[in-house]
Structure 1
Amino acid sequence: MSTTRVIKANGIDLFIREAGQGPLLVLCHGWPELSYSWRHQIPALAAAGFHVVAPDMRGYGQSAAPPDAAAYSIFDLVGDVVGLVQALGATKAMVVGHDWGAPVAWHAALFRPDIFTAVAGLSVPPPFRGRGRPLELLRQGGITNFYWQYFQTPGIAEAEFEHDVARTMRIVLGGRGLADPTAAMFVQEGKGFLGHATVEEPLPTWLSEDDLAHFIESFRASGFRGGLNWYRNIDRNWELTAPWQDAQIHQPSLFIAGAQDAVITGLIGAKRVNELERVLPNLTRKLIIEGAGHWVQQERPEDVNIALLRFLREAAPQLSGTA
């Protein structure tokens, strides 16, 4: 059974779910999610002997949401995780991230190898810092309707998503009625991000009405701006991470993704998955789960838990100075 509390870290309030005692393990969720997205992992990992902590990340749920978009750079996000480790009285931790939480986990391991002794990323491969600013490269390639671009102007996506939060979350988490999920990443003129969802299908078996209601209630209270501000730092993050060009993450690492996840099935994503070892020389396993999509730890919790436990048990003996 997990407990919840608010803890001060990196100068802001973070709402956390936690359970268990032992080596510290931090779970970082993605967009548009919450610490609740780890509901299947927290008890299983805690029962295996870990102190599991899952925050509502900056801008989400009951955690602080600074109004300035500039407060959501990769340095701020990693700073929150570092601050959380310190606030919990630990000096070492392992970190796992899904979706946007994966880049936070990867960069935490990259920036602070003295703290983070092992790292796992779900759905999003580790950072491959390209030849230029990502949004700029999209424009140069003639792409103007990728969802990253749609999310840039403050207020536009917020208005669309907040108009009917229940419908938004049902479509985004529950499935967008598409045979080709990759198409959902491109926004048709005048239709918005949700415009592809012409038919609202029943919820998938892994997402109950009660689960969905939890997300709906939270996002009705918080709005969507905090999470969208993460996207508004994509080019800035490229600039900030210049010192880590071609750097590697040397800690033991694990990558997990669903075989049907559009993040890894596109040309760029597939190439990065095939080249993980370029950035992760100590990659212990690359697990691609057949039949699973993007919300992999919710869709296939047993498979993910088994893989995480196997990985973390091997990595845990390296920890010292834990809470």
Structure 2
Amino acid sequence: METIAPLWLWIVFVAFVLGALFVDFVLLKKQGAHEVGVKQALNWSLVWVGLSFVFNALFWWAVKDSTGSSALANEKSLEFLTGYLIEKSLAVDNIFVFLLIFSYFSVPPVYQKRVLMIGIVGAIVLRTGMILVGGWLLAEFHWILYVFGAFLILTGVKMWWAAGQEPDLNDNPALKLLRKLLPVSKTYDGEKFWTVENGKRIATPLMMVIAMVALTDVIFAVDSIPAIFAITSDPFIVLTSNVFAILGLRAMFFLLQAAASRFHLLNYGLAVILVFIGSKMVLIDVFKIPVAVSLGVVLGILAITMLWSAKTAPNT
């Protein structure tokens, strides 16, 4: 797998991710369990988006410095921006599922932050492995692109069909299996994943929540990673755009939690985006859609869907 990114930029990226996780797990941990307000979530969301653009500017400079080509630097930075936007958009659907899980298990708001922090680390590790495997498969077997494309089209159609339906965790087979494997307490024990009842060590509902969040990460990684490979095959761009989208997931969760009803039609837009990206992959050897066009289509679909959602949002 070849990448245009120099080694020092890989080092900067890894250092940045480790620094971000240090802030989340060490510095913010001193705050203790607390409910994240809309203002705090908005500020952190703006910080993560801003840092993503700063990193993209650094990436542009690194490509131009190493190749001497501004045109190539523009192309690669546009690939990062498009990939980041696609992954960020698909993360919204991920967040809606998190909202469902938290609501189903009645997770107290003060404990939700820790669950999301652990989920983010799991998602980074999982997606890194899947991206490396996916990149190797594409390098060895070009026809995998058609498989990825067809899968995204089918996923988009399925998402459109299910968009107007209310999801139900009661019939979730993974949840049923977890309940059979793990005895679970009826009440929370602070932020603990394990507690002791009648002399036996059993899981708390928070452990079930973590397990369901991890399962959700797996499902959405299978959907979103092929989508970014439709934009670029450079493993650096694929990985960094994914990770930057994930790092802002926690703040975006609390932000969308307060305005979920205003984006009730967003899943329809995400379904159309998946079908578009899947079609782009299937047609890649017939007609290659420029990255700038892909970015414009994704932005246009999101803008139309969000405006449509705001206009038809139910009164609260």
TM range (shorter): under 0.3
Q: Compute the TM-score of the two structures, normalised by the length of structure 2.
A: 0.27
Q: Compute the TM-score of the two structures, normalised by the length of structure 1.
A: 0.27
If each structure's strand is expressed as a fraction of its own residues, which one has the higher value?
A: 1
